[in-house]
Structure 1
Amino acid sequence: MKKTLITLTILLGYTGIYAQNVRFTTDGVVEFERKVNMYATLKKRINKDNEAYLQVAYDTYKKNQPQFKIMKSTLTFSNDKSLFSPLPDTQKDAGGFWGGDPNSTQNNTIFNDYATSSFITQKKVFEETFLVKDSLRKINWKLTSETREIAGYECRRANAVIMDSIYVVAFYTDKIPVSGGPESFNGLPGMILGVALPHENITWFATSVKDRPVTAAELKAPVKGKAVNTKGLNDTLTGVLKDWGTYAQTILKALTI
């Protein structure tokens, strides 16, 4: 009995020491890599109405460009705020036939305030820039027991459906107790370091996490653009794209994810 009590005391003491030494990151910068399977994405665009010209463009793209379009971004965070910023696109097809396609570009600079559940997004839509201010998207996550390591952090998987039909797989770590993530993904009990949209052929995964102090100057919200809320932006986009046929839904989805 005495041996059991001694062993239990040692284990509890070790657990307490371990817990005291666990590092929780509340300030820092996450570097993300966005990867799009362009072959799969562009193939879906071809139908009987456009195949005469799009099939040629698609075949040319496959011949000259890699399967995956890779783009980089950063997520700067401090406690209850974050700023998601795309980095310049340096891949050689950036200005090609598909270069302006919303699926092959990063259109958003996003400031999130988790304390007030609000966001400010500077969104580029072709030649126009909008400044969208509204409440954070509410995502009904379902947690699972699956885990994987991302950028040195053990992450837990969660699943969700957004915009009625887009299936989302996310991986978050509770060692970064900030309820943020890349783009507009948020709402989990820790930082989201990985996101996959399997049916959209897009992923975002962290490549590094820099645990360092963040200044207020690094978390300034964007200020330029035509001011709208989420509904106003969607109404504007729907009106502009109403004559674009089946392609309109693809573009609308890409611009509002």
Structure 2
Amino acid sequence: MEKIRIGKDEPLYEIKGIRPMSPNVMQIVFAGPVPISWGDITIYTEDGTEAATLTGYDTVYRDDGQTVYLSNDGSVYQAPDTPDGPGEPPEPYVPTLEELQAGKRREVAAECEGLIYAGINVALADGSVEHYALTIEDQLNLFGKLSQITAGATQLEYHADGQPCRYYSAADMQAIIQAAMWHVSYHTTYCNALNMWIAGCQTTDEVAEIFYGADVPEQYQSDVLQAYLVEIAAMAGGAEDGIPKD
């Protein structure tokens, strides 16, 4: 079965097929989990050989559950008008289970992204606590500091939110980077588990009960998430309550 990778993310997603539907729209049928963000699409054959990379398909044109349509021109699907007969009030539309699952995935993905971007508080060696946003640009800047530390830098320039740029010790910068990596990795792992839970729902009522911050049922918890939950419980003194509050 073919696989794809989105951007520079580590996970590989199994797909049943990928094909163009028009000059600007690509259809991807997933065999399992569906990504929560989009970017360059690298396609791998069944034996793991890199086959091709598609660029520009980063807009969700239409989401039909396991089948996702992406556009490379920013366009999104618009349902055609279906006028009712004269004098007949329009029937309320009842979304299908697949449509509700797709909407719930978008909902939790937005919550995940917002929490990641909101950032973290980090206690520094002098006892002060500073806040650092973690937008994509912030993440790239921070993780780039890791190579400076590896190269032996003893002071590194950076800034907390709303503060001027200043020099940080290698130890403080390492603490900031580690906290950032943990924050991003945890929320990405938790959101992935939510997506597995959403995919496993059999009724619309089950989908409606899912929200970001809910305790994920054990059957949808990956080994990675379980390890994070144990760590969170230990940090909270044994009180495991879902997502850590930064």
Instruction: Tell me the TM-score normalised to structure 1 length.
Output: 0.27
Higher relative contact order (CA 8 A, sep 6+): 1
TM-score when normalising by structure 2: 0.28
Instruction: Write 1 or 2 for the structure with the bigger share of strand.
Output: 1
